[in-house]
Every structure is written in C-alpha cells, then in structure tokens.
A and B are shown apart, each in its own frame.
Chain A
Amino acid sequence: MSEEAQADRALLERKVRKAFQVLVLQRGRNPGVKGWEMKRSLGRDFRSILEVLSEEVAPLGLEVFEVKGPEGTDDSSRFLLRFKEPPTVSEAETSGIRIDDLAVLAATIAFVNSKQGRVGRKEVEHFLREKFPKWRVEYSLDRYVKRGYLEQDERSMIHVGWRTRAEVDEKTLMTMILSRAQEAPKK
C-alpha cells in the first residue's frame, strides 16, 4: 500500500472514530446529533463517514440511523446510533421498562397514526381510558411527550414525536397490532 493510501486510510479511521464518539456521547437533553453539527465535526463528506461507521458497528448489533427533520435538509436531520434489531421481550423486561407503559405508548402511536397523524389529547385520553386507569394514561402521556416519543402542540393536539420516528418501525408496529388482534383475547 502506498504512503498516500495509508495516510488516507488513517484519516478515515480517525474520522470514523470521531463520528462514533460524537454519536455516542450525549450532548444536551436529546440523543443524537444534528446534521449541521456532524458537518462541523467531520466535514462535508460526513455521510460517507457515517456509512462506514454503520458497517463497523453492525457486528455489535448497532446501526447509524437518520431521522429527517421538518425541513428535510441535511442540516435539520438528526443522526443517532440505535439497535439494528429490536431487543427480545425478556431483554426489554429486564431493563426495567414497565409493560403497561409500553402498552400505552403502542396504543397511542397506533391511534394517532389511524387519525392521520394528529389527534386531540382529550380524544387520546378518552380512548386509552377504556383500557388503562386514568392516572396511568395522564402520567404516561406526559412522560412520553417529555421524552420525545410524542409531541403536543399549542392546540393540545398529539403527534408522533421525533424519538418514535427514530426508534420505532411504525409500519411493523401497525402490522403487529393488526395481526395480533386476530388472536382470541385471554379471559
């Protein structure tokens, strides 16, 4: 390998390492790094560096994922590292996540999607209260809004949040709900 090629390779490795560090260290309240920050840290060709990183972390069960921003530009996109495959149910349970809380979130996302992506908070609460206690509905909704899984606008309309777009394969979720519901409910 020529010296020039070796230098290029060393530079790429350095940039990939830096990209990993930038992505994995939380800066601010929300995980992930905006496109403009990536550009500043890695240069204009940050996308190709992220592609290499995504291949590098694949054996660890991770991938680099892009969440498109509202403007649809490179700068407004958010990049993050996430699990390539979903965890198993027992893995999720052992991480301390409450099944009831996840059920509220799953039902809310499906309900919001069925209503063209926006629905009044009161309507969501009314719908969920048929299945969950009132206190849990209010507590969980507030919590998921705070954590970015749901968004609530100034008119109290609930939308799917950026974090859901980042972490949840919504098509799979909807398909699972539809196919699972065909099973007879337990008594």
Chain B
Amino acid sequence: MEQKKLEEVLRVIELCRSVESSSANPFDVDIKAKIKLLKERLPEWKFLDELLVDSEAMLELAQIVRLQDEWLKHRASALYIDPLLIQLKIKLLEKGALSEAFIRSWHPVAQLDQISPRGLEKAFVYWRDLRPMSERFKSQFGTNGAVPGVVDYDELVSMGVFTQQQFDATLKELQDELMERSNGDWIDYREFIGSDTYEGKVKRSYLLAFLISEGKATLRTEPLTGKIWVTALREKANTPPKSVAIPIGEEA
C-alpha cells in the first residue's frame, strides 16, 4: 500500500519532467490536484527517502508553475502566432526570403575586437616564461625525449638485458616448450606467453616473435573472434614473412 502511494508521487515527478523536456502545454498539469495529493500523503511519510521524493515533487511542480508563467507571458505578447501557421509559412518561404526577413529585423552589435595593452602584456609574459618543448614534460617523461621505437636484439644485448649465451639458451628453451605444448596443433598465443609478471609476458612475447621471424614458429589470426593461434614448426618455413602487430596489455 505504501509502495502504491509512493508511486503516485513518483508519477507526479515523471509527468512534470516530461512536460519540462517537451514543448507541451504546461497547463496540462493540474497543479491544484497534484498539490492536494502531496498534502494528503505528507503525514504518512516516515522515512527520509520518502520525504525527499515529496520535496522533489514539490520542486518539479514549482518548475511547472514557472513554465506556466512564461507560457502566459509569451502568449500575451505579440510574438504568439499559431504554430501550425508559422511552420507552414516557413516551409513555403525560400531560403533567400527567410534570410532577408532576418536581415530586415536585425540590428547588429557594434563593438571593437582588439587586444588591450594588458592582454598584450599577459601574452608576452606567457611567451617569455614558456619553457621549450624538450624541457616541458621532463618531470613526467624523463629527459630522453625519444619517441617510441623498436629495440632490436643488439640493443638489448648492449643494454645488458641479455648476453648472447643467455639469449640463445632462453630462445631454445622457449622453442622446446612450444614444440612440446603445441605438439603439431595450434595453441592459444596469449595463453602461451602468459606469465606471473607483465615483464615476463613481454619477454616471452619478444622471444616468440624472434622464433616466428626465424621461421621456427608461425601464427594464425582469426579476425572475427580476435583469437591468435601459434604453433612450432619442425622445419624452417620458406614462405615470405608477414608482419603482425599484437598489443600486450597487463591484463591480457
């Protein structure tokens, strides 16, 4: 029963909102009846939520009264013309005639668009204090300022990420693992490169890319599902290589 009473108030709010968001006549809302309803229900509300709904309904009714006021003022002004008539007239008019009607009732504003001495001074100070591009984002992105690029094997070795022996051994390990897990079938690429850490995942994907480039493994993609399959090759592939870009996210 309580729920039903609350629904009545919610319906008042909805009605008001629908009138507010359309060009419907605000006098379609019977303000007197709605306020009477709210007045009757008010003593029955016990909870804060119910009282809030009641005050919201009052607010919406106040908005409708405001719209009624505007509606009356507009109707009383000389601007009121039957909507159907004006729509018909606009449809009949040529674009040129419409714009001419506008120009003949138009009094453009006269003003000067110019920069003031104060504005000029502000612009000068801004330009003077503006740091060069290369220094501007130092704190966020470091001082390198290098754009993203490709790190090749030689660079990794020179950076000390790998030594030649380590790299060869790790690559062999991964190839064996792929051979064993795929066993002549296709296996899920993302499952294969999966690791406990993001760094581990990137490392495995880098090594796998190396195997694929060497022709020791191959990829197959399914554009519709987005699935990527990988398998090890017993013999080195002789088909011309194709480039595939695969983003490696932390969550993937």
Contacts and interface: CB of A to CB of B under 8 A. Distances in A.
A88 B101 CA distance: 11
A173 B105 CA distance: 6
Contacts of B224: none
Contacts of A117: 70-71, 74, 79
A186 B98 CA distance: 13
Nearest to B25: A116
A9 to B, nearest CB: 26
Contact of A114 (B81, B91, B108, B116): B81
Contacts of B88: 181
Contacts of A155: 20-21
Contact of A31 (B67, B107, B109): B109
B103 A185 contact: no
A31 B108 CA distance: 11
A176 B104 CA distance: 8
Interface in B11-31: 20-23, 25
A169 B105 contact: yes
Interface in A165-183: 166-174, 176-178, 180-181, 183
**How many interface residues does chain A have, given as a range?**
35 or more
B82 interface: yes
Given A24-B110, A113-B79, A99 B95 contact: yes
A156 to B, nearest CB: 7
Contacts of A85: 107
A105 to B, nearest CB: 6
A175 B85 CA distance: 12
B94 interface: yes
Interface of A: 23-26, 31-32, 62-63, 65, 80-89, 92, 99-100, 102-103, 105-107, 109-111, 113-120, 123, 127, 130-132, 155-157, 163, 166-174, 176-178, 180-181, 183, 185-186
Interface of B: 20-23, 25, 67, 70-71, 74-75, 78-83, 85-114, 116
23 contacts: A24-B112, A25-B112, A83-B106, A99-B95, A102-B98, A107-B98, A114-B80, A117-B70, A120-B21, A131-B91, A155-B21, A157-B23, A167-B108, A168-B107, A169-B105, A174-B78, A176-B100, A176-B101, A177-B93, A177-B98, A178-B86, A180-B101, A185-B94
Q: Which 4 residue pairs spanning A and B have beta carbons closest together?
A: A181-B89, A102-B99, A176-B101, A172-B105
